Structure 1
């Protein structure tokens, strides 16, 4: 379980694989000097519910991963997250989109 440390707030716990994909999307948006929201459901063990934060290039941000090796990234999932990041609702952390072979 990785974490996002944002500003002076608490750590946000997110699965390492999902966090690796989010990092690409968040870094891309912030590099473009774009602000947006990030929403997620609380993981098991945390209080039930969901949260949203406003991400802005001027606020400190740190990604911490439990796994020492970066996973292979799924470009479809990154594209889906990028589309949601550009929407008025911001990024909603959704389950990974898996490639399925056509029959």
Structure 2
């Protein structure tokens, strides 16, 4: 299970495969000096123990080139990214609702 840590807020827990794709999209937008919101609803979980019976988490953060982000992974990152998923995440990030982890296209 990977983590996205935003400033001093609790870590947002995201599976490694999804986080790899989010990182690629986030870093591309930051390189282009594009600010955007990142939103989550139910998944990913925020902070705490993954096995706990905590209620679903919801939240939103504003990401800009001045944001302090740290990406942490539990597993290897050696497989090629899904180009279709990257394109879909980029499209969503540029929309009015901001970036969120949408399901991976098959």
TM-score (norm 1): 0.86
2:25 counterpart of 1:25: yes
Q: Distance in 2 between matches of 1:81 and 1:33?
A: 17
Which structure 1 residue ranges, 4+ long, deviate > 6 Å from structure 2?
A: none
Computed over aligned residues only, the root mean square deviation of the Cα atoms, in angstroms, reads 1.5
Q: Does 1:75 align with 2:83?
A: yes
1:63 aligns with 2:71: yes
Q: Is the CA contact 1:20–1:70 (under 8 Å) kept in the aligned structure 2? A: no
How far is the alpha carbon of 1:41 from its aligned partner? 2.5
Tell me which residue corresponds to 1:47.
55
List runs of 5+ in structure 1 lacking aligned partners.
Answer: 99-103
In the alignment, the residues of structure 2 paired with residue 63 and residue 13 of structure 1 have an alpha-carbon distance, to the nearest angstrom, of: 10
Q: Which moved more, 1:69-78 or 1:15-24?
A: 69-78
Structure 2 equivalent of residue 97 of structure 1: 105
Aligned partner of 2:16 in structure 1 is 16
Tell me, in whole angstroms, the C-alpha distance in 2 between the residues paired with 1:34 and 1:69.
Answer: 26
Give secondary structure in 1 for the equivalent of 2:89. Answer: helix
Deviates more, 1:31-40 or 1:17-26: 31-40
CA contact (8 A) 1:21 1:77 kept: yes
TM-score by length of 2: 0.84
